[in-house]
Amino acid sequence: MHPTLGEQTGPSHTPLGSTLALITGSLALVSGLARVQTGFEPGSSMPQAGIVMILAALAYRSAKKRRIGEASPTLTRQFLEIASLVLICLVILMQINLKYLIVTDPVPNAVIPIWAILAYLAIVIMPKSDGRKTA
């Protein structure tokens, strides 16, 4: 029997946001490394921003799969999610002269990492919706 309008076959969601974050992060990483290597922008924060976006998207996607039941909540999965968040913090916090970088280039050094961690926490902490609406 073919599915009709309203019936779903397969996963109930498309991970559009995390897919876009993976693509954007990959492009930021590659372009940032190219800018640093060519000497065009030796102090560029784009490679770090790319790494942060990639790690955050993978951790978020994993947590979302656990939340909706597509993946089992194994200790290994949760450890890797937390390890990704710790790596995000290390990538940002281990930079030399971080205060200056946040002031002069806030998006890759503050906005993206904060947004990434908050998105992960939101998917993990917020209660599940059972799909029923109350009047």
Is residue 11 in some structural domain?
A: no
Give yes or no for a contact between 84 and 59, defined as CB atoms under 8 angstroms apart: yes
Give the per-residue pLDDT at 80.
95
Give the per-residue pLDDT at 108.
92
Give the per-residue pLDDT at 10.
52
Give yes or no for a contact between 49 and 102, defined as CB atoms under 8 angstroms apart: no
Collect all residues with Cβ–Cβ distance below 8 Å to 20 and sequence separation of at least 6: none
**Rounded to 5, what percent of the chain is helix, strand, coil?**
70, 0, 30
Give the per-residue pLDDT at 8.
46
What token pair was written down for 123? 């998917």
CA distance 69 to 112: 28
The domain containing residue 42 runs over which residues? 17-125
Give the per-residue pLDDT at 59.
95
* Helix, strand counts (H, E) of the chain: 6, 0
Is residue 105 in some structural domain?
A: yes
Give the per-residue pLDDT at 43.
72
Is residue 121 in some structural domain?
A: yes
Is residue 90 in some structural domain?
A: yes
Is residue 7 in some structural domain?
A: no
Low-confidence ranges of the chain (pLDDT < 50): 1-9, 135
Is residue 57 in some structural domain?
A: yes
Threshold 0.85, pTM exceeds: no
How many domains does the chain fold into? 1
Q: What is the pLDDT of residues 58-85, one digit of tens each?
A: 999 999 999 888 888 899 999 999 999 9
Give the per-residue pLDDT at 130.
62
Is residue 29 in some structural domain?
A: yes
Give the per-residue pLDDT at 7.
44
Is residue 23 in some structural domain?
A: yes
